[in-house]
């Protein structure tokens, strides 16, 4: 079982719609959770961090964490073509501080 | 405040040569991660370092690869006797500490072995 799992996609949504990206993790004691965005040929860029159960909103982005279900998600409201990228879920293992990434989900926002 | 700096951005090596990749963390950051990424694939963890200390090297190949983060100067990822399979993008990220801290990436080094 992979430590961090994401559906590779592609996830295709029309412009203006809500894009929902999901991630599960296997280590129950993981303590910190992040979403990064990576455009083709570029380096990952941090979008959101979330540390406690519930929702965290920042502009058009909302991160949701459910530690009991070992599940973290990212919602993108009013999706724009410029949001088309690969979204990487990452977790920190509490014992070592190791930052581990999922395979990423490719999002395509169609005009 | 400068971000994470990696150099060189592009590196071409012949098979059997050595590759040295450098990563200067953000100011105030004392922890560095190294990752390898092949085209259309995810980020594969290699090593996690604190200044003068390797915290986790579980993703490093047993041979030819080494990493260091000295008290002064950048973190170095060293690949000896490179082979074509080492061709990839290598990214480093830095953070101020362990646990609930955000990590920021450099622009990466694209290594091509010919």
Question: Bridge-partner residues for B52, per DSSP?
Answer: none
CA distance A51 to chain B (A): 7
Tokens of A36: 């990064």
CA distance A58 to chain B (A): 16
Chain A residue nearest residue B50, CA to CA: A97
- pLDDT mean by block of 10 residues, chain B; 114 residues: 90 98 95 94 94 94 96 96 97 87 96 98
A3 neighbourhood in chain B, CB within 8 Å:
none
Report the relative pairing of strands A4-5 and A45-50 from DSSP bridges.
unpaired
Instruction: Show pLDDT as tens, one digit a residue, over chain A (111 residues).
Output: 778 999 888 999 999 999 999 999 998 887 899 999 999 999 999 999 999 999 999 999 999 999 999 999 999 999 999 999 999 999 998 777 889 999 999 999 999
- Do residues B30 and B97 lie in contact, with contact meaning Cβ atoms separated by under 8 Å? yes
Report the relative pairing of strands B88-95 and B104-105 from DSSP bridges.
antiparallel
CA B102 to chain centre: 17
């Amino acid at each position: 079982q992979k430590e961090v799992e994401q559906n590779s996609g592609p996830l295709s949504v029309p412009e203006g719609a809500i894009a929902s990206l999901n991630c599960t993790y296997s280590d129950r004691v993981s303590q910190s959770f992040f979403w990064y965005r990576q455009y083709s040929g570029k380096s990952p860029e941090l979008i959101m961090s979330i540390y406690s159960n519930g929702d965290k909103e920042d502009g058009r982005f909302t991160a949701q964490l459910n530690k009991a279900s070992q599940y973290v998600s990212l919602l993108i409201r009013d999706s724009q073509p410029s949001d088309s990228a690969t979204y990487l879920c990452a977790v920190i293992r509490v014992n070592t501080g190791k930052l581990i990434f999922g395979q990423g989900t490719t999002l395509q926002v169609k005009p | 405040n400068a971000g994470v700096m990696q150099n060189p951005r592009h590196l071409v090596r012949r098979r059997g040569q050595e590759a040295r990749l450098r990563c200067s963390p953000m100011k105030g950051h004392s922890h560095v991660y190294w990752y390898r990424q092949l085209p259309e694939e995810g980020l594969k963890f290699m090593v996690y370092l604190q200044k003068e200390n390797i915290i986790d090297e579980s993703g490093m190949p047993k041979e030819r690869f080494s990493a260091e983060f000295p008290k002064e100067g950048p973190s170095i990822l060293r690949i000896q006797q490179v082979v074509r399979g080492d061709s990839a993008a290598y990214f480093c990220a830095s953070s101020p500490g362990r646990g609930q801290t955000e990590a920021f990436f450099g622009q990466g080094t694209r290594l091509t072995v010919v």
